[in-house]
């Protein structure tokens, strides 16, 4: 285990370094943020002062070196727009994104896995076929279009749910959450449903495939021969085996929920990291963009590590200390 952790940490450090360099250089060549941030009627002296204050008058390699030294100490620089530490600005938005991602994954799990099991056991039944049709729709429909349809139907026409914002929040262990208030929960339903649709379809197809594969295995036939009920065979034996690939893939997909909630957060004006980075790209707020992407990559790394550990717990044949 120790050798595995050391190897993963060293690999992660290289990934973060390369990622930071690519993003930093890419944002540098996209354009000059001063042209967006400063007033058009600013004098040359004011323009030069703004460039100097933001450190943009230094060569690219020197700017990156300064950024890298600060990043090693947790300092990603000050946001050009908010004039606050970039890390603080992002961490202030992180709870909203995590709440949305956890809720979407919760919806995907509680609906996707049971529906997938039903579709696997009743593959030739009308129920199973309709469930699979739903999963195909979930894969095919664009997220932005589904979000707009949800707003039109449930917010504009029916007036049941709010179309944007986060609603009222309360503090839970020092973190602002909205799911504990009626207003916050009402604001959470539509964006979480929109974000969960693709993951629910994925969970359905993974679970269905796992059920159909495992139902043909000898251990299932042996369990039935012993006289075990179908509920016990499915719930105890089959369920345990299909959860290994399901947890692995959904664990990876949870990282993508956090990283790619940008569209959903933008459509529903959800005040999370995704909307923040979209706004920052519009004004070339380099510290925010680079810090966001590095934090996102770090989350992927941590989630992958947790998934590997859970995989080894569910399947004792997997040993993390060995090369696979």
> E strands within 40-182?
170-172, 175-177
Domain presence at residue 181 = yes
Q: Residue 151: its pLDDT value, please?
A: 93
First to last CA, the chain: 13
Q: Residue 67: its pLDDT value, please?
A: 82
Burial class (CB in 10 A: 0-12, 13-18, 19+), 61: exposed
Residues of the chain with pLDDT > 90, as a percent, come to: 7
Helix, coil or strand: residue 263: helix
pLDDT for 279-315, tens place per residue? 888 888 888 888 888 888 887 777 777 777 766 666 6
The residues that bridge with 171 in the sheet, in sequence order, are: 176
pLDDT for 204-226, tens place per residue? 888 888 887 777 777 777 777 77
- State which residues form the domain around 130: 86-314
Domain presence at residue 305 = yes
The residues near 160 (Cβ < 8 Å, ≥ 6 apart) are 154
Domain presence at residue 93 = yes
Q: Residue 30: its pLDDT value, please?
A: 74
Rounded to an integer, the average pLDDT of 273-281 is: 86
Which of residues 96 and 311 earns the better pLDDT score? 96
pLDDT band at 77 (very low <50, low <70, confident <90, very high): confident
CATH number where 254 lies: 1.10.3720.10
pLDDT for 19-64, tens place per residue? 878 877 877 777 777 777 777 777 778 777 877 777 777 788 888 8
Distance CA 251, CA 171 (A): 27
Domain presence at residue 214 = yes
Q: Residue 250: its pLDDT value, please?
A: 76
Single pTM value for the model: 0.77
Domain presence at residue 186 = yes
**For the chain, how many structural domains are there in total?**
1
Q: Residue 193: its pLDDT value, please?
A: 92
Cβ(268)–Cβ(147) under 8 Å? Answer: yes
Domain presence at residue 231 = yes
Where are the alpha helices (H) located in 151-259, listed in sequence order?
A: 182-214, 218-225, 230-232, 239-259
Residues of the chain with pLDDT > 70, as a percent, come to: 91
Distance CA 100, CA 193 (A): 9
Domain presence at residue 230 = yes
Task: Find, among 272, 253, 289, the residue nearest to 87 by Cα.
Answer: 289
Q: Residue 323: its pLDDT value, please?
A: 46
Does residue 197 come out as left (phi exceeding 0), alpha (psi in the -120 to 50 range) or beta?
alpha
Domain presence at residue 74 = no
pLDDT at 259 > cutoff 80: no
Distance CA 145, CA 137 (A): 12
pLDDT at 132 > cutoff 60: yes
Cβ(105)–Cβ(197) under 8 Å? Answer: no
């Amino acid at each position: 285990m120790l050798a595995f952790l050391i190897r993963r940490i060293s690999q992660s450090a290289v990934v973060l370094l390369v990622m930071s360099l690519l993003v930093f250089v890419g944002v540098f060549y996209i354009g000059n943020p001063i042209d967006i941030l400063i007033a058009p009627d600013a004098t040359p002296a004011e323009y030069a002062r703004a460039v100097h204050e933001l450190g943009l008058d230094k060569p690219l390699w020197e700017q990156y070196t300064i950024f890298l030294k600060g990043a090693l100490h947790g300092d990603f620089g000050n946001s050009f727009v908010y004039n606050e530490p970039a890390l603080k600005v992002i961490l202030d938005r992180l709870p909203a994104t995590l709440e949305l991602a956890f809720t979407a994954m919760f919806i995907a799990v509680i609906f996707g896995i049971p529906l997938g099991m039903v579709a696997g056991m009743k593959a030739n039944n009308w129920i199973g076929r309709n469930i699979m049709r739903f999963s195909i729709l979930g894969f095919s429909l664009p997220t932005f279009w589904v979000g707009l349809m949800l707003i039109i139907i449930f917010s504009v026409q029916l007036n049941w749910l709010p179309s944007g914002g986060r609603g009222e929040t309360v503090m839970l262990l020092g973190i602002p959450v909205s799911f504990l208030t009626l207003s916050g929960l009402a604001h959470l339903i539509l964006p979480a449903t929109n974000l969960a649709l693709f993951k629910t379809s994925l969970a359905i197809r993974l679970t269905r495939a796992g059920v159909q594969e495992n139902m043909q295995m000898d251990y299932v036939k042996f369990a039935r021969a012993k006289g075990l009920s179908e509920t016990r065979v499915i719930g105890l034996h089959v369920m345990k085996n299909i959860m290994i690939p399901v947890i692995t893939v959904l664990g990876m997909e949870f990282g993508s929920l956090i990283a790619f909630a940008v569209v959903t957060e933008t459509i529903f004006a959800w005040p999370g990291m995704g909307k923040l980075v979209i706004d920052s790209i519009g004004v070339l707020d380099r510290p925010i963009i680079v810090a966001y992407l590095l934090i996102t990559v770090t989350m992927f790394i941590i989630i992958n590590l947790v998934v590997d550990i859970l995989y080894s717990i569910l399947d004792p044949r997997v040993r993390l200390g060995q090369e696979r």
